[in-house]
Amino acid sequence: MSQRKDLIIIGNGMVGHHFADSFRQSDAADQWHIQIVGEERLSAYDRVHLSDYFQGSDHSALALGTPQSYRAAGISAHLGTRVERIDRASKTLVLNDGEELSYDKLVLATGSYPFVPPIPGHDAERCFVYRTLDDLDAIRSAATNRQTGDNVGVVIGGGLLGLEAANALRSLGLATHVIEFAPRLMPVQLDDAAGSVLKHKIEALGVQVHTDTATDSIETLADGRLRLHFASGDNLDTDVLVFSAGIRPRDELARQCGLDVGERGGVRINNHAQTSDPDIYAIGEVALWDNRIFGLVAPGYRMAEAAVAHLGGGDSPFLGADMSTKLKLLGVDVGSIGDAHGNSAGAISFRYHNEAKGQYKKIVTSADGKHLLGAILVGDNSAYDSLLQYYLNDIALPAEPDSLILPNSTGAPALGVDALPDSATICSCMNVTKGAIVSAIDGGCCSVGDVKAETRANSSCGGCAAMLKNIVDATLEARGVEVDHSLCEHFAHTRQALYHLVQVEGIKTFDDLIAKHGRGHGCDICKPTVASILASHWNEGVHEAPHVKLQDTNDTFLANMQKDGTYSIVPRIAGGEITPDKLLVIGQVAKDYRLYTKITGGQRIDLFGAQLHQLPEIWQRLIDAGFETGHAYGKALRTVKSCVGSTWCRYGQQDSVGMAILLENRYKGLRAPHKIKFAVSGCTRECAEAQSKDIGVIATENGWNLYVCGNGGMKPRHADLFATDLDDVTLIRTVDRLLMFYVRTADRLQRTARWLESLDGGLDYLSDVILNDSLGLGAELDTQMARVVDTYQCEWKATLEDEQKLKRFRTFVNSPESDDNVVFVEERDQIRPATADEKQHIIASA
Amino acid sequence: MTAHAQHLHWVQLCQRDDLVAESGVAARVGQQQIALFYLPDDNAVFALDNHDPFSAANVLARGIIGDLQGHWVVAAPIYKQHFRLDNGQCLEDASVCVATWPARLNGDAVEVALPIALPI
C-alpha cells in the first residue's frame, strides 16, 4: 500500500469530480492515492442545474460528491483551498495554507471564470457573475433586500448562460432585462430568425430583451442602484446586474509553471488530455484541444475519460465532441445541433417558421439531402431527439427531409428505438450507447432508475430522459418484463393492490390508506382512484366528510363539467323508457333555465349550460318529478340501452325493455375503474347494439345470451359471447360476479375490454372464474354486489336534503352573481358556448 | 417598468366555514375571481386566480388539490394541468403562471391581500 503513487486533481467542479469518480472505478485505481484540491468551500455540485437552486433546491440536492463520499472512496479532499503554485521540477505544489504536496501525476481541472467586460463601473457592489452557489446567494440577497416591490434585474449577455441567469432573476421577482451586444440572442447556436422567435417568446414572459445594444458605462446612483448607459444614449436603472458574457479558461497555474497555453488562453492538450508536461493533464474548460475550448460539460467528461484511460495504460483518445444542445430557457424550448448555420460546403437548408405559435425549425443537410449536418429548433423541441440520432449516427434521411420538421406531416418517419444502431449515443454527457443500455437490462436492470445507476445515462443534463425511457421500456417489453405500475408518486401500488389493502385491512378513508401505505398528501390521480375503491367497497356517499376532497369536479357537483366551466345534467331514464309527463318536466326545466338539450348516444337527455349555483334548483325540480341522478358524471354504470323488445316489436323474442330497466336499476351507482355501459336487444337483429357494450344481452328463444367486455372507446372491441340461453336469475348472478370481479381487479381507468385482454388466460380464465367458480370467489362477489345494491341512494336526493352539502354549490362564496365569463350564443334555436372571438365581439359591443 | 409601488390591502372574502378542507371555493372581488384553497392541518389559505389559462374558463377552485414534487398544487379540472398553490407556477409548462395573492385566516375571517389599485 505504501508504494502507491500520488495523483492530485486541482479543481472540484463537475469535470474534476467526474475524473475522480471514473478513475476510482478504473483498474489502475488501487495503485494510486488520489487527492482533490477545490477552491470552493462546497464539494462538487451540478452546475448545469444551478438555476434549480432558486427553485428551492439546496446544495445537497445538487451535490455530486460529498466530503464523506470522498473519504469513503479513499480520496483526500482539500476543500476551500487554493493551489498557490506548481513546481514541475520537484513535482510539488504549494497550497494557500502553506502545505506542500508532492505528486506523480497532476490533473488540472480548474475550469473557467466568467468574463466581465471592462465597462467602466463593472466592479460596483451590485454587479455579479453567475457561476457558483456563492454567486447565487449574493444575487439573491441583493435582489431581495430592497422593499420597493418594483426591483429590476439586468443580465448583460444573451447567450445560453445569460438566459439562464435571466430566468433566475425573474424567479426572484425582479423585472428582468437582457442586454445582448450581438443583433440576436444566442448568436453562436441560433440564426437570425431563430433568435427573433426566441426573443418574442421570452418577451411574452415579461423579460425585456435588448439586442444590438452596447453598454458604455455603469453608474452607481446615490441610493446604490445602478444606471446603465448605452451607446445609443438610452439608460436603464437596475437593482442588480449580472454579467454573463462568456467564459475564459483559468489557466493561471499553467502559465505560472510554464505549460504551453494558447494565444487566447487555455492549456494545450493532446488527444490523451496531456499537456506539454506528460505528467500533467488538463481537462474541461481550462483545456485547449485543437485550438478549441469546449464550454459544455460533456466534452469535459470525455477528456476526463481519455485521461483516466491513459493513466491506466489504455487508449481512449479525445477526438473532439458534439456541441449539440437541447435546453428549456425560461420555459422555451431551444435546440441546436451540429452545423446549425450551414457553413459546410454545399449544405442546403430547410426551414419551417410559424409566427403564430412561435416555432422555428431548420435542418441543414448535405448537398444530396441524404445526411443531416445540423439543425436549429425554437419553441418546439419534439424533433430534437430524432434529429440528433440522425446526425450522430449518420442515419440516411428520408426522401423528403423536411418531413422531419413539418407539423402533422404524415411522411415523418418516427425514428423508433429499433431504428437505432447499438452504437447510437443516447446520453452524450455520460457517453452511453444504446448497446450499453440494452446490455445493462440484460444484466438484470429492470427500470430506468436501475439503468441510470448502472450506466450513469441521464445522470447529468437530463436531456436524454425521454429517449432513455423509450429504450428501457421497449427493451423490457421485448423481454417480456412488466414495467413499473405504481399508481403515482404517492402510492407504489396498482389499483388492484390498493383495493386489496382496503378490503383486507377494512380501511375506510383515504387518509388512513395513505398514512399506512403511501406517502405525501395525494394528487388528482390517486385521490379519485381511492375514492372509487372506497365507494365500490363501502358505498358511502361521495359527499361524506372524509371523501369530499377526493372527488373530481364532476363527482363533487354531481354533473358533467363542460369546456366553458358550466355543467350538463343527465337524469336517469332507465332503459330509455320515459313517460310523457316526465318528458314535459325535462322540457320545462330546460326552457326555464335556458339549457341546451340533446338526446345522448345512450338514450338519455342531456341538459347543458347550467352554472354551479343553478344545479340544486334544477335538480330539486327533477327529483320532485320522480327523476334520479343518471351518474353521467361518474366512473359508474351509465346507461342500459334497449330496443323495443317483444312488447311492441314483431320480431322481439323477450322483453328487452323490462330487462334493461331491471339491470339499470340494479347496478345504478356502482363505482368502477371506468364508466360502464350495457345494452339489451330483444332479438339477434341487435337494434340496441349490445355487442359493442361492456355488458351486452341479446334475447334468444330460450332466454338470454350474455356478451362481455366490448366497447366503443378509442379502440373499439366487439364483445365476446360468454354464456348462452340464461334464465333471468342466472343472467343477473353472472353479471353480478363479472362486474364485481372487474371492479376489484382492473387497473385505474381500465375499460372492461382492456381488462379482459390483460387477464392471463383471457376469456377461458374469466369463464372459469365466473361460471365455474374456479377460485371459490362466487359467494363473496355475490355478497359484495348485494351490499352495493342494497345501499344505493340517489346522490342528488341526499345532497338536496343536506344544507351543509348544498353550501358547496355556490359559484362564489361571497356573491350571488353569475360567472360573467360564461357567454352563450344561439345556434339552431338553442344556446351554445361563445367562441373566444365571439366573446370579444359581444363584450366589445356591450 | 409597469410595476408600481404597491401597498397590501387586506380584504375579507368570507368565513372559515365557507371554505372546504383540502379543497377549493371561488370568491370574487369586482371583476376578479379568486380561487381559495384551505389546508386545515397547516391552518393555511391560498388564493389563486380562478381563471384557468388552458381552458379559458373560471374553474381552478373546482380542481383537486394535492402534492407533487414537494409542492402543494391544484389540478385544473378541465385539462388537468397542475398549478402550485404558493406561486401559481404551472408544473407542465414553465412559461405559464397564474396570479396569486397573500391570503390568511384572521380569526374566522378569510382575508386576501390585494394591491390597493384593484377596484373593490
Residue A359 contacts B, CB cutoff 8 Å? no
Radius of gyration of chain B (CA): 14
* Sign of the CA dihedral running A553, A556, A561, A564: negative
Angstrom distances, CA of residue A584 to CA of A75, A570, A639, A664: 85, 15, 21, 23
Compute the distance between CA of residue B40 and CA of residue B52 in angstroms, rounded to an integer.
Answer: 24
**pLDDT tens by residue, B2-50:** 334 456 788 999 999 999 999 999 999 988 999 999 999 999 999 999 9
Residue whose C-alpha is closest to residue A740's, from A667, A792, A688, A812: A667
C-alpha cell, A390: 440522425
Residues on chain B touching A528 (C-beta within 8 angstroms)? 64
**pLDDT tens by residue, A302-336:** 999 999 999 998 888 998 888 888 887 777 889 99
pLDDT above 60 for A785: yes
Q: Nearest 5°: phi and psi at A535?
A: -70, -40
Compute the distance between CA of residue A795 and CA of residue A798 in angstroms, rounded to an integer.
Answer: 5
Chain B nearest CA to A756, separation (Å): 28
Compute the distance between CA of residue A764 and CA of residue A722 in angstroms, rounded to an integer.
Answer: 9
**pLDDT tens by residue, A710-730:** 987 777 889 999 999 999 999
Please give the residue of chain A at the shortest CA–CA distance from B82: A524
Find residues 599-658 of chain A whose CB sits inside 8 Å of chain B: 612
Chain A nearest CA to B8, separation (Å): 11
Find residues 66-95 of chain B whose CB sits inside 8 Å of chain A: 66-70, 72-73, 75, 77-78, 80, 82, 93-95
Residues on chain B touching A550 (C-beta within 8 angstroms)? 64
Residue B42 contacts A, CB cutoff 8 Å? no
pLDDT above 70 for B65: yes
C-alpha cell, A224: 446604490
C-alpha cell, A692: 359493442
Residue A759: the pLDDT is: 82
Compute the distance between CA of residue B61 and CA of residue B68 in angstroms, rounded to an integer.
Answer: 18
Find residues 12-41 of chain B whose CB sits inside 8 Å of chain A: 13-14, 18-23, 25-28, 31, 33, 36
The shortest CB-CB distance from A175 to any of B3, B5, B68 is to B3
Chain B nearest CA to A169, separation (Å): 15
pLDDT category of residue A275 using cuts at 50, 70 and 90: very high
- Inter-chain touch A520–B62, beta carbons under 8 Å: no
pLDDT category of residue A709 using cuts at 50, 70 and 90: very high
DSSP reduced 3-state for A259: coil
- Inter-chain touch A520–B65, beta carbons under 8 Å: no
- Inter-chain touch B51–A821, beta carbons under 8 Å: yes
Residues on chain B touching A815 (C-beta within 8 angstroms)? 27-28
Angstrom distances, CA of residue A334 to CA of A226, A295, A324, A464, A760: 31, 17, 11, 15, 45
Q: What is the mean pLDDT of residues A456-475?
A: 78
Residues A700, A653 contacting (CB under 8 angstroms): yes
Residue B2: the pLDDT is: 34
**pLDDT tens by residue, A576-604:** 999 999 999 999 999 999 999 999 989 99
The shortest CB-CB distance from A527 to any of B18, B66, B77 is to B66
Residues on chain B touching A819 (C-beta within 8 angstroms)? 33, 58
Residues on chain A touching B25 (C-beta within 8 angstroms)? 808, 810, 813
pLDDT category of residue A282 using cuts at 50, 70 and 90: very high
- Inter-chain touch B27–A808, beta carbons under 8 Å: no
- Inter-chain touch A549–B23, beta carbons under 8 Å: yes
Residue whose C-alpha is closest to residue A26's, from A311, A338, A223, A271: A311
- Inter-chain touch B62–A561, beta carbons under 8 Å: yes
Beta pairing class for A432-433 and A215-220: unpaired
Please give the residue of chain B at the shortest CA–CA distance from A236: B1
Q: What is the mean pLDDT of residues A661-666?
A: 96
Q: Which of A68-72, A159-163, A444-448, A622-626 has the highest mean pLDDT?
A: A622-626
CA A67-A71-A74 angle, 5° bins: 145
User: Locate cell 410595476: which residue?
Assistant: B3
Q: Nearest 5°: phi and psi at A425?
A: -75, 125
Angstrom distances, CA of residue B92 to CA of A396, B83, B84, B88, B96: 34, 9, 11, 12, 9
